[in-house]
Amino acid sequence: VSALRRVAIIGVGCTRVGEHWSRSLVDLFSEAALASIEDGRAPEIDAVFVGNMFSGFAVHQEHLGSLLADSVGLSGCSAVKVEAACASGGVAMHQGFTAVASGMADFVLVGGVEKMTDTSVPVTLDALMMAENREYSASSGITFTGLNALVARLYMEKFGATQEEIASFAVNGHRNAVNNEFAQFRSSITVEQVLRSALVADPLHVLDCCGIGDGAAAAVLCPLDRAREFCDTPVEVAASSVATNVLSLCERDDPLSFDATRRASSRSFHAARLSPRDVDVLEVHDAFTIVGVLSLEALGFAAVGEGARFASSGGIALDGAIPTNTFGGLKARGHPVGATGIYQIVELFWQLTGRAGKNQVDGARIGVAQNVGGVDSTSAVHILRRVDG
């Protein structure tokens, strides 16, 4: 195999997640992208990778690579949109990593953006179901929340987990989001509030589910051996992997095994010569509480069937075994779907460079981000490492 170059992140930026009624997709991306370029003091940008799931469906705009590169003064460079449902941000990061690692580009802007509130909620829910098989699953009438509810019910039945234990994942995210100025929901909640909130798809209550929001996030990558020219505290992308699983939940042998995440994390840990024990801070894709639970198990931070109990017993808290979703996660920071994978990278960068404020994990050196499309039909797993000395 060829000799890949080592890759670093030198700057990041993002918008607040929320209902940005007065701002367009272009406005949001530009704010995040320009912030990341300024943060990283990048002298140039050779290529742009934009993660986005459904701009065509929702705002009737495609060609986001060229459009958004142009919007921040980068017309001329290589630019492309990449899509893998809610993992679009993570796969954009993966393509950016590959471009720098290969030597095809030196300075790469990776961004994610989603404008979810320009259409009605039923249209947005229909858009999200494009992550599953339209001809079969979607035509049955089930929603994306419904699919995840089936998974939650099966998990409870098989492992004796309780709704309270699963709900603790949302409580953790909300607690952390209080201190995140970019979060969509900055209020603490309790397990009792989750269980008293409206039932969306039994057993998932509305507070088990992430909200609908607009947002954009961006990061600038360059070769590690040049990173210190532009950044006092570069962070290395120690590994980047994308993997898939059988797309449709109904066709899988084991609906409770997140095999895309298992494959991607196995490859990334192997490439970085690290294991879950080495990780100081974790971002998992908790689009629904049950997804956070199963992700902990697939990544190797909890045994099979133990994820919910691990979370509810404090394992994912800031002072727990593995501080998780320290800026609120999808549930509380928000989940503008195509941007989420990049928000995770932004937040890990802040943790690993000591910029995480009140939620700083002391001495955090290794971070992992897991970003999922569909019900773990695609998974992108990145391992970031602080560069010491």
By CB under 8 A, name the one of 9, 72, 82, 291 that touches a copy of itself.
Answer: 82
Is residue 69 a contact residue for a copy of itself (CB under 8 A)? yes
| Rounded Cα distance, 297 and 344, in Å | 19
291: Cα separation from own chain's centroid = 12
Active-site residue (options: 77, 86, 210, 231): 86
Judge whether 205 counts as a catalytic residue: no
Give, in order, the Cα–Cα distances in Å from 286 to each of 135, 219, 279, 335, 341: 26, 22, 18, 9, 12
Is residue 37 a contact residue for a copy of itself (CB under 8 A)? no
| Rounded Cα distance, 220 and 13, in Å | 9
Give, in order, the Cα–Cα distances in Å from 32 to each of 89, 254, 289: 13, 39, 27
Active-site residue (options: 20, 174, 205, 335): 335
Judge whether 174 counts as a catalytic residue: no
Tokens of 335: 């989940």
Maximal CA-CA distance, the chain: 57
Closer to a copy of itself by Cβ: residue 103 or 357: 103
The least distance separating a copy of itself from the CB of residue 54, rounded to whole angstroms, comes to 5
Is residue 140 a contact residue for a copy of itself (CB under 8 A)? no
Is residue 135 a contact residue for a copy of itself (CB under 8 A)? yes
Question: Between 189 and 228, how does the x/- string for binding to a copy of itself read (CB under 8 A)?
Answer: ----------------------------------------
196, β-bridge pairs: none
Closest residue by Cα to residue 369 from 299, 290, 270, 287: 299
By CB under 8 A, name the one of 34, 59, 154, 274 that touches a copy of itself.
Answer: 59
By CB under 8 A, name the one of 2, 141, 253, 273 that touches a copy of itself.
Answer: 2
The least distance separating a copy of itself from the CB of residue 315, rounded to whole angstroms, comes to 29
The count of chain residues that interact with a copy of itself, using the rule CB under 8 A, is 68
Asked whether the beta carbons of 89 and 341 are under 8 A apart, the reply is yes
Is residue 143 a contact residue for a copy of itself (CB under 8 A)? no
The DSSP code for 214 is: B
Window 240-299: residues binding a copy of itself (CB under 8 A): 241-248, 259-260, 263
Closer to a copy of itself by Cβ: residue 113 or 308: 113
